Amino acid sequence: MLVTRNAADLCALLVNELYGQLPSVCFSPASPPVAALLARGRSNVRDLALHTSLNPKQVRHGLALVIQHNLVFYQTDHETATTTYEANPQASYHLVRVGKILDVIDRKYGTMAKNLVNDLLMLGHVEVAELVRYHRLKHSPKKAKMNGEQNHDHDHNAEFEDEDENGLEYGDPSDPFDDDSHYVNGNGIAHETTEDVTPIQANEVYDTLAQLIAAGVIESVVATMFQSPQDLKASVEQECMKEFPNGVRGAKVTTEFDTMVKSQIKAIGVERATMKRKLQESALYEPSNIKRRKLANGGMSNGFAGDSGGSILRDEPNTVVRLNFDKCLVELRNQKLTEHVEDFVGETTAQVFAALLASLCKKVYRCQHDQHTIMTEEEEETYFTGVRVTSEEIFDHLSPGVDVSTGIGSASEEDIDIRFAEKIRKYPPQIQGSHLQGTLDEGDEVLGSDDEDYDHSGEHLKGTYVNGHNGYHNSAAQNGTKLGGDHSGEGHSSRAEQLRQMRQHLLILAEAKQQFVRHCGQNEWTVDFGPLIQQLRYVELDTMIEDNFGRQGLRLTRILREKGKLDDKTLPAMALMRKPDVHVKMAEMEMAGFLEVQEVPRDNNRAANRTMFFWFFDEARTLKRVLDNAYKSMVRCLERLEVERYNKRNVLLTADRKDVQGKEEEKLRGDIYNEYLEFIEVEKKLLSQVSRLDDLVSVFQDF
């Protein structure tokens, strides 16, 4: 993550917004006496106290909280017993995505999964048994919740109702640690109030948790995760050094040493993934099964037999788990990519793409990696060789409500050349710096031998054309899933026909300039995330340029991006623009940092008219600048929110009273309630803007 001053401010604000003032102090470089970890690098408690004007006790309390949420790394030197702390800016930045993550988990893995993730965000790392206990305490149905839960789109206040009953005090010391037997005996809060609703069963929670761990959304925590990746490597190296009492000298020994370090680091990766692997091996927890079950029962079911992942977890109640933001980021990336397809191609195609991503990303646990990323072998394999899925797998992931017969125009058969449509590309396109224009075409040349290669399965399927499939709507309520293959009724297409139609969408995606999909083998599909995201960066950049400088500004930038450096004589002719107009536009864009200019003097006079000006597009610099602008804009939105809060402080103070919270409409006087609603509206606008800016940051940096 690029840590600029603005980024550091942002992290501090985010921690402050969610976890409170004291933890954020450890981050904030905003005011001079505050020694921020971000500003100062690693520090110990004494340094922090000195620089923050807090006493050590306060600092320690703050640190305890941020360690709990893994917002800092620490490293203890056992010789001196001093511990140094180091900010983990990426983890703090992830907080901006909390809302989106909860939402995407809700849709992909169900409500209970979302609640579990919510609990993990509340608790930080926590033992499995404690998490389950907490979950049941918090999310068991209660009377208050019954009327509030449904209409959350209109009034999210209603959602809070389930929190205020016991939200004030979590972990009441008198509340016994109930495992099931306790619970059944009836001393939980949930019990007294719920005749008609069954309380959440512990094994249900364990099962969902097991699914989430298997999917990688939740990961088990080991001590090494609290060390920064650099520290971890250093300490591994130190340990390894002990095996070489004579020092590491010479090529042979160095190689031995390196191999040892590598294998140790790999062992750490294995250690981290132990639980995940164990759960994945119990085949029931293949993510596809989760989905299938969800579809079948309209929710997570608890009625299946076998040695469930839940019982594996139950046997290890002290496993410590936390949310894995890397995997969440993968889910968010899928969401963003789907939005892009919807924008570029259309809605039905986007649905098909979503299904492709869902099945493709089962085994994708992170978007990016660097030298410090510790990956298991399984991960490395999927990461470097790429994963691929078949049409059938995609079809199984398709939402049953999607009508794949829509969204594509028709053309007579003689206008379609199946060899182009079904062309197979075995190798991913090269990322060609800023010249992405040519990706598609040049890729073809490189793969000359591939040209003749196309997927013939499309031809076979042609025979199965079915007419009169119009008006086909597979109702989710009726059939639950398409897998049954029992659509014999009139107006229902056969599975083969639907599959053929779905393939059409995939082919369109593969043909698109952006190359959303690569048709990588007979009936096999993959997505080259790297080049695709790179394309999206340009899309976002172009969007901003067009918005800022109009269509002509965009034209000029794109000419430069394609042609490299150009002088101001050639440019107007290519752009079909008047020379003065070009100059004005170029100067504007140069001042805003979207273009760079290079001066080449023709003689020693250094006069403007004896100088050639070459314009060019510096991608790296532009991206950096845009990224920092996005951070700064997010900071401004959050600061504005703070000011709005200050302006409405009296209203908010009242609304935050414990007897009012969750019942604002009922308890607040009319005018105050209206003011409160106004504030909620403002807050929504600002927070959603922050979230949109984060979309941009994600595309530019994290996806």
Partner 1 sequence: MSGRGGRGGRGGGRGGSRGKPAPPGMPGGDDPSLIVNDQPQETYPKFYKPPVAPHLTPLEERAVACFVKFRRTYHNTPLYTHRHINGEFLSAKDPVLPRHGQSQINARYGVKNRATIDPFLSVPMYSHRFVDETRTLPKLRNTRPWVKDLFPEELWATLDGRDTSGPKGGFQTKGSANRGTKRRLYDDDEDDPYGDGDDDEEIFGRSQRRRENETEEERKARIDGAGKDADNEDGDAGDLDDEDDEEMEAEDDEYDSAEDDDGGDYNAEAYFDNGDDDDFGDDDGVGESAMDF
Partner 2 sequence: MDEQTALLKTQLYAACEEACSGDPDRLFTQEDLTALDVIPPKDIKKLLQLIQILTNERLFAPVHLHSGLAWRLRPEAEAAKYKQLTSHDQVLVYEIIDAAGAEGAWQQDIKRRLNVQDNALRKALKELEAKRLVAQFTTVENISKKMWIKANIKPSSRATGGPWYTDQFLDEAFIEALQSVVMSFIKNRGSYLSKGERSARSVSPVLPKKGVINGAASEAAVKSKKRTADAISKDEALVMPAAKHRKTIRLPLPAGYIEYPTTEEITAGIQAAEVAKGQPLKQEHVQELIDVLVWDNRVEEIRMGNRIGYRAVRIAKQNPSLYSKPGDDDFWEPRSNGLTSVPCGKCPVFDLCEEGGPVWAGGCEYFDQWLA
Residue 19's binding partner among partner 2, partner 1, none (Cβ under 5 to 8 angstroms by kind) is: partner 1
Token representation of residue 428: 């991913």
- Only one of the segments 23-31, 252-260, 378-386, 533-541 lies at the binding site for partner 1 (rule: CB under 8 A); that segment is 23-31
Report yes or no: 135 and 200 within 8 Å, Cβ to Cβ. yes
Stretch that binds partner 1, among 215-223, 294-302, 303-311, 436-444 (CB under 8 A): 215-223
Q: Quote the least distance from Cβ 522 to partner 1, whole Å.
A: 36
Count of positions on this chain that bind partner 2 (CB under 8 A): 105
Under the binding rule (CB under 8 A), the answer on residue 507 touching partner 2 is yes
Q: Which of 146, 344, 450, 613 binds partner 1 (CB under 8 A)?
A: 613
Instruction: Work out which of 350, 595, 660, 668 binds partner 2, going by CB under 8 A.
Output: 350
- Establish if 277 lies at the interface with partner 1 (CB under 8 A): no
Instruction: Establish if 408 lies at the interface with partner 2 (CB under 8 A).
Output: yes
- Which of 162, 204, 664, 694 contacts partner 2 by CB under 8 A? 694
The minimum distance between CB 653 and partner 2, in angstroms, equals 19
Instruction: Kindly state the tokens that stand for 397.
Output: 């992931």
Between 275 and 404, name the residue whose CB sits nearer to partner 2.
404
CA 277 and chain centroid, separation:
22
Regarding 417 and contact with partner 2 (CB under 8 A), the answer is yes
Does 81 bind partner 1 (CB under 8 A)? Our answer is yes
Q: How far is the CB of 646 from partner 2 (least distance, A)?
A: 8
Min dist CB 22 to partner 1, Å, is 4
Nearest distance from C-beta of residue 93 to partner 2, angstroms: 15
Residue (316 or 459) nearer to partner 1, CB: 316
Plot region of 489 (φ>0 → left; ψ -120 to 50 → alpha; else → beta): beta
Site residues (CB under 8 A) for partner 1, limited to 303-362: 315-320
> From the list partner 2, partner 1, none, which binds 508 (C-beta under 5 to 8 Å, kind-based)?
partner 2
Residues 23-44: b if buried by 16+ CB within 10 A, e if exposed: bbbbbbbbeeebbbbbbeebbb
Phi, psi of 317 (to 5 degrees): -70, -15
Using rule CB under 8 A, residue 466 touches partner 2: yes
Considering only 52, 308, 348, 534, the residue that binds partner 2 (CB under 8 A) is 348
Q: Under DSSP, is residue 423 helix (H, G, I), strand (E, B) or coil? A: strand
Interface residues for partner 2 in 560-589 (CB under 8 A)? 562, 569, 574-578
569 binding partner (options partner 2, partner 1, none; Cβ < 5 to 8 Å by kind): partner 2
The contact mask relative to partner 1 for 123-162 (x = CB under 8 A, - = no) is x-xxx-xx---------------------xx--x--xx--
What residue type is 165 in one-letter code?
Answer: E
- Per the DSSP assignment, residues forming a β-bridge with 75 are 84
Q: Judged by CB, which is closer to partner 2: 384, or 646?
A: 646
d(CA 113, CA 102): 9
CA–CA dist 174, 669 (Å, integer): 37
CB-based burial, 192-213: b 16+ in 10 Å, e otherwise: ebbeeeebbebbbbbbbbbbbb
504 binds partner 2 (CB under 8 A): yes
**Binder to partner 2 among 237, 271, 511, 618 (CB under 8 A)?**
511
Is 387 a residue that touches partner 2 (CB under 8 A)? Answer: no
When asked if residue 477 is in the footprint of partner 2 (CB under 8 A), the reply is: yes
Site for partner 1 in 641-700 (CB under 8 A): 642-643, 645-646, 649, 653-654, 656-661, 667-669, 672, 683-685, 687-689, 691-692
Determine the Cα–Cα distance for residues 686 and 675; give it in Å rounded to an integer.
17
Conformational region of residue 81, where left means phi above 0, alpha means psi within -120 to 50, and beta covers everything else: left
DSSP state of 78: T
Of 181, 223, 303, 488, the residue at the interface with partner 1 (CB under 8 A) is 223
Q: Are strands 566-567 and 596-601 parallel, antiparallel or unpaired?
A: unpaired
Give the whole-angstrom CA distance, residue 677 versus residue 690: 20
The structure tokens listed for 407 are 């969204």
The interface with partner 2 within residues 663-682 (CB under 8 A) comprises 682
State yes or no: residue 3 binds partner 2 (CB under 8 A).
no
Site for partner 1 in 534-573 (CB under 8 A): 568
User: Are 288 and 226 contacting, i.e. CB atoms less than 8 angstroms apart?
Assistant: no
Per the rule left: phi > 0, alpha: psi between -120 and 50, beta: everything else, 470 is beta
**Closest CB to partner 2 among residues 268, 483:** 483
Q: Which of 11, 98, 290, 566 binds partner 1 (CB under 8 A)?
A: 98
Residue 328 near which of partner 1, partner 2, none (CB within 5-8 Å, type-dependent): none
**Binders in 567-596 for partner 1, by CB under 8 A:** 568, 579-580, 583-588, 590-593, 596
83 within 8 A of 76, measured Cβ to Cβ:
yes
Q: Which residue has the tokens 């985010």?
A: 14
One DSSP character per residue, 531-582 reads HHHHHHHHHHHHHHHHHHHHHHHHHHHHHHHHH-SEETTHHHHHHT--HHHH
Which of 67, 47, 66, 65 has its CA nearest to residue 56? 47
